Amino acid sequence: ALQTQKAQTAKYQNQLLVADNQANALKQELSELGTQKQQLQTQLQKNQTSLHETQNTLADKEQAILALSQKTDKQQQNIHQLMHWLGALDEDTQAVFQSLTWRSGSIFTKIALKLMFKKAGLTAQDHIGEMTADIAAWQQSQTDIAAVQPAPVSATTPPAVQTEPLVKTTTLRPPSKALLQQNPRDYPRWIQNYDTLTSKAIKRMQQRINEWDEQPFISIVMPTYNTDEKWLRAALDSVLEQIYPHWELCIADDASTKPHVRHLLEEYAERDKRIKLTFRTQNGHISAASNSALEMVTGEFVTFLDHDDLLAPHALFWMAKDILDYPDTMLWYSDEDKINEKGERHEPYFKSDWNPDLFLSHNLITHLAVYRTSLVQQIAGFREGYEGAQDYDLALRAIDQISAIQIRHIPRVLYHWRTIAGSTALLPDEKPYAIIAAQKAISEYLERRNIEAHVMESPAIQGTIRVQYPLPVHLPLVSLIIPTRNSLEFLSRCIESILNKTDYDNFEILIVNNESDDPATLDYMQQLEENDKARIIDYPHPFNYADMNNMAVEHAQGELIGLLNNDLEVINREWLSEMVSHALRPEIGVVGARLWYPDDTLQHGGIILGIGGVAGHSHKGLPRGHGDAGYFGRAGLIQNFSAVTGACMIMRKANFLAVGGLDADNLSTALNDVDLCLKMNEHNLRIIWTPYAELYHHESASRGYEDTPEKMARFEKERGYMKARWPNFLLLDPAYSPNLTLETQDFAYSWPPRIPALP
């Protein structure tokens, strides 16, 4: 027994020794871990110090960038001011050179030098001419730089984060001093600066024509009837004065009763064998007369000139150049203006590129239009019974046969439309039958495409059209998504107006609650949910406007979705019906609405890319009511834009998902709506804006600039992403004109235009 106890004791002692060794090993390991912890803490402190230094460095760089941006803006203003002064100086200098005193003195000087047998050297006028040429070259270089590097700030700002309404808006930097010091709508001066041909420019055009391998032959069709002699002479002279010589003029007189017309036409035909004449024995009106002229056409391309209008001297040059540059095109159209009885040009219509829905609102093409002759022959020319809108009907039937990429816009004023008594150029209601013919032509165009629609005259803008698309018998469900954080006043007004002022009755409301903590707001949302008036979706994450909407779309049960701000208020009951009617069209990607500030000035009439560097709202600040049509009706007509605001947009859920929704990674707060629309465009889906869906947007009309360092840094990052992602759109918006400004949102003229200067 003693031996057994000793053996057990030895065993226990051995186990204790092993345990003691293990304890020592653990102590050693703990000691090593403690050392590692201390090292990690030391490294962490170093990293924190380094991070702090990096943050300070970034803050310094942000301040430096801000200072550089302000300095650049100041330099740009100085450049604009200098260009303005140089233009004024050149104008005054030319006035001196054209004065009788200077010209008389110049003549006497030359005579005196000849009498003294002295050779004349360079005059002051020659020296100033050389300086002016150098200045013009410098101005062009500044224009080229501006075209590549647009102004640095502006676009749709992000929704507010705390108790402010979740909004999207556009902010602009103030316009340059040069613009403020001159009238941005001084068209005579704009013509003088940018649309006046010099003898050197004409020679360069002629040289380029001679260098072309081909010279397209263009036929000009002109119907005449009892035209006033001076207007007919002016029209004929404008053809004879064309810089591009490869044309023929085919004139059909529609049995004029005034004898001077025939005499005058025969006189001009004798002067130039390129003029062809036919004299109808019976009056058949403009369509029949135009067809008679078309029978004489031999050119591969054909255009049309009214008997009292004018072609710009370089009209056919630019058309021929574009024909050669884009040989697959079938139809070209240019900008136009009007010319009064005194010969003064006014009211330039600087058009967008091809805009299908704007074209169905009014005749966007009009003047100057050039067609391939084969296309006009294919559709059998003009149709009788559409007088007053015969050119509209011709274009509609031509477009039936071609694709959108075969239509080209030349952003130059190539046609001057005469404004005299009795012309629609002066007053649209001079020919009331014209709008009836236009409605008929558009209705038949839609019927040919199996599109059901009601065509009527626009209730707000005389002489324009509204196309109203019907809703299906079974209305699709629309999911209206409204993000919010507190903001009971805004939210309740928005929800109640939707519930009480919407005639479209198949919709659901999804409120995305971004961590609201206001008891009254939470109580209101609970009541809505209990009464089956809305579904509440919690978003318990840091503010990310794009991600909030993307998440809500996943919960949406509707075929259509609507992204709405919580500070909207419905104006007209048809707002949702109108937007849905367009969203259901297979070619439409996104539908935008007309939004007004509470003071009845326009907040959103579509988005124009490039304003302030990124984007701005069309016609922002335009007063509601009389005169709210905007530039050539563009604040009151259904039309296509490159983008519309996310404050109120309707689209198919499938299209939203197909393009990847809103970009929550790169555009969490701002510009995600513009990006979404551009992605829709990329998928061949059009963006449409309708003035017949109207809501108030309770955003402050004097919200101010995004000028805090944090906001500017965030916006600069998102702006930089947009410029890298969509460089071509931001430089040249196809729904806008390069002849219109990117400094303001009122469609003022661009000084200078963003097109190549005259040769």
CA 392 to chain centre: 23
Please tell me the distance from the alpha carbon of residue 555 to that of residue 535, in angstroms, as a whole number. 10
Query: How high does pLDDT run on average in the chain?
Result: 85
Length of the chain (residues):
759
Residue 141's pLDDT band, with cuts at 50, 70 and 90, is very low
706, 326 Cβ separation under 8 angstroms: no
Which position has the higher pLDDT, 320 or 44?
320
**Strand pairing category for 331-339 and 407-418:** parallel
- The verdict on whether omega for the bond into residue 519 sits within 30 degrees of 0, i.e. cis, is no
- Residue 170's pLDDT is 33
325, 338 Cβ separation under 8 angstroms: no
Residue 150's pLDDT band, with cuts at 50, 70 and 90, is very low
DSSP string over 679-701:
HHHHTT-EEEEEEEEEEEE---T
* pLDDT more than 70, % of the chain: 79
Please tell me the distance from the alpha carbon of residue 614 to that of residue 226, in angstroms, as a whole number. 52
Residue 635: closest CA among 596, 571, 691, 575: 691
Is the pLDDT score of 271 beyond 80?
yes
Is the pLDDT score of 58 beyond 80?
no
Three-class secondary structure of residue 435 per DSSP:
helix
Residue 423's pLDDT band, with cuts at 50, 70 and 90, is low
Three-class secondary structure of residue 251 per DSSP:
strand
Is the pLDDT score of 197 beyond 50?
yes
Mean pLDDT, residues 401-426 taken together: 88
Residue 48's pLDDT band, with cuts at 50, 70 and 90, is confident
Domain residue limits, the chain: 200-426
Is the pLDDT score of 105 beyond 90?
no
**Strand pairing category for 478-484 and 247-253:** unpaired
Biggest CA–CA distance in the chain, Å, is 157
Residue 158's pLDDT band, with cuts at 50, 70 and 90, is very low
593, 690 Cβ separation under 8 angstroms: yes
Beta partners for 301?
218, 372
Mean pLDDT, residues 315-339 taken together: 98
Which position has the higher pLDDT, 168 or 15?
15
Q: Which residue has the tokens 């991070």?
A: 51
538, 455 Cβ separation under 8 angstroms: no
- Residue 148's pLDDT is 37
Please tell me the distance from the alpha carbon of residue 369 to that of residue 372, in angstroms, as a whole number. 10
Sequence-distant (6+) residues with CB within 8 A of 77 are 176, 177, 178
Amino acid present at 340: N
What are 556's two structure tokens?
A: 């949406």
Sign, CA torsion 667/671/672/675: negative
Start-to-end CA distance of the chain, whole Å, equals 123
236, 273 Cβ separation under 8 angstroms: no
Please tell me the distance from the alpha carbon of residue 81 to that of residue 506, in angstroms, as a whole number. 57
* pLDDT more than 90, % of the chain: 67
Please tell me the distance from the alpha carbon of residue 652 to that of residue 668, in angstroms, as a whole number. 22
Could you tell me the pTM of the whole model?
Answer: 0.77
Residue 435: closest CA among 529, 505, 363, 341: 363
Sequence-distant (6+) residues with CB within 8 A of 457 are 435, 439, 463, 464, 465, 466
Residue 316's pLDDT band, with cuts at 50, 70 and 90, is very high
- Residue 712's pLDDT is 74
Determine which of 162-171, 199-208, 469-478 has the lowest per-residue pLDDT on average. Answer: 162-171
Superfamily the domain 200-426 falls into: Spore Coat Polysaccharide Biosynthesis Protein SpsA; Chain A (3.90.550.10)
DSSP tag of 631:
G
Which position has the higher pLDDT, 612 or 653?
653
Which position has the higher pLDDT, 61 or 27?
27
CA 170 vs CA 338, 346, 603, 631, 700: distances in Å = 33, 31, 9, 19, 11
CA 423 to chain centre: 30
Is the pLDDT score of 116 beyond 70?
no
Which position has the higher pLDDT, 739 or 32?
739
What are 643's two structure tokens?
A: 């983008």
- Residue 706's pLDDT is 53
* Buried-state track 179-205, b at ≥16 Cβ within 10 A, e below 16: beebebeebebbbebbbeeeeebbeeb
Taking only the tens place, the pLDDT of each residue in 427-454 is 555 668 899 999 999 999 999 999 999 9
CA 159-160-161 angle, to 5 degrees, is: 115
Residue 20's pLDDT band, with cuts at 50, 70 and 90, is confident
Residue 673: closest CA among 586, 489, 510, 549: 549
Sequence-distant (6+) residues with CB within 8 A of 332 are 319, 322, 323, 369, 370, 371, 407, 408, 409, 410
CA 6 to chain centre: 102
Q: Which residue has the tokens 């509609």?
A: 396
Taking only the tens place, the pLDDT of each residue in 279-298 is 999 999 999 999 999 999 99
